[in-house]
Chains A and B, each alone.
Chain A
Amino acid sequence: MAAATLCGNLLPKPGWLPLIQSVRHGSKAVTRHRKPLHILKQKLLAVTQYVPPPRGPPPGAYPSQRQALKESEFVLLLKKDLIKVFQDYKMIAVVQNSSSSAEDMMILKHRLHKHGISVKFFPNQVMRSFLSDSVYSNMTPLLIGPTVLFVSKEPKVKEMLSTLRASPQMTLLGACIDNTLLSTQGIVNYSKLPSVSVMQGELVSGLTMMTSRTASMLQHHPAHLSALLQQYIKQQSPDDATRAAPEGETT
Chain B
Amino acid sequence: MISLVKATVGGLTGICGARGHQRGFLHSHLKIITAGMKTLEIPPDYSDVFLPPKPKLKFLNKVPNLKKAMKERKKLRDIQGPAKTANAFTTGQYAIVAMGGGYLHWGHLEMIRLTINRKMDSKTTFARWRINAPYKPITCKGLGQRMGGGKGAIDHYVTPVRYGRLIIEVGGKVELREIEHVLIEVAKKLPFPSKVMSRESLAALQKTQADMEQNNQNPWTFKQIAQGNMLGIRRVLSPFDLHNHGRFTGKFHLPGRV
Interface positions of A (Cβ within 8 A of B): 28-31, 34-35, 37-38, 40-41, 44-45, 47-54, 72, 74-75, 102, 105-106, 109-110, 113, 119, 121, 123, 125
How near does chain B come to A241, taking the closest CB pair, in angstroms?
79
Quick check: which of B106-114, B167-175, B220-228 contacts chain A, the rest being far away? B220-228
The reply to whether the CB of B216 lies closer than 8 angstroms to some CB of chain A is yes
B23-31, B57-65, B90-98, B121-129: which lies at the interface: B23-31
Determine the distance from Cα of A41 to Cα of B246 in the docked complex, in whole angstroms. 9
Answer whether residue B257 sits at the interface, using C-beta atoms and an 8 A cutoff. Answer: yes
Tally of contact residues, B, Cβ under 8 A: 43
Task: List 13 additional contacts besides A35-B249, A40-B235, A44-B233; criterion CB under 8 Å.
Answer: A28-B76, A29-B76, A29-B250, A30-B101, A30-B250, A44-B237, A45-B254, A48-B218, A48-B220, A50-B212, A50-B218, A53-B217, A105-B32
Chain B nearest CB from A45 CB (Å) reads 6
Compute the total of residue contacts between A and B using a CB distance below 8 Å. 94
Q: Are B258 and A50 in contact (CB under 8 A)?
A: yes
Interface residue from A50, A51, A74, A102 paired with B31 (Cβ < 8 Å): A102
- A37 — which chain B residues lie within 8 A by C-beta? 249
Query: What are the interface flags for B203-235 relative to A under an 8 Å C-beta threshold, 1 for contact and 0 otherwise?
Result: 000000000100111101110010000000101
Q: Is the interface of B mostly helix, strand, loop or mixed?
A: loop
Q: How far is the CA of A54 from the CA of B215 in the complex (A)?
A: 10
Question: Do A45 and B37 touch across chains, with their CB atoms under 8 A apart?
Answer: no
Could you say which residues of chain A place their CB within 8 Å of the CB of B13? Answer: none
Interface hits, B85-105 → A, CB 8 Å = 101
A-B interface, 4 closest residue pairs, ranked by CB to CB distance from nearest: A30-B76, A51-B217, A51-B218, A38-B236
B39 within 8 A of A: yes
Is B250 touching A31 in the complex (CB atoms < 8 A)?
A: yes
Which chain A residues border B30 with CB–CB below 8 Å? 102, 106
Decide: B77 and A30 in contact? CB cutoff 8 A.
yes
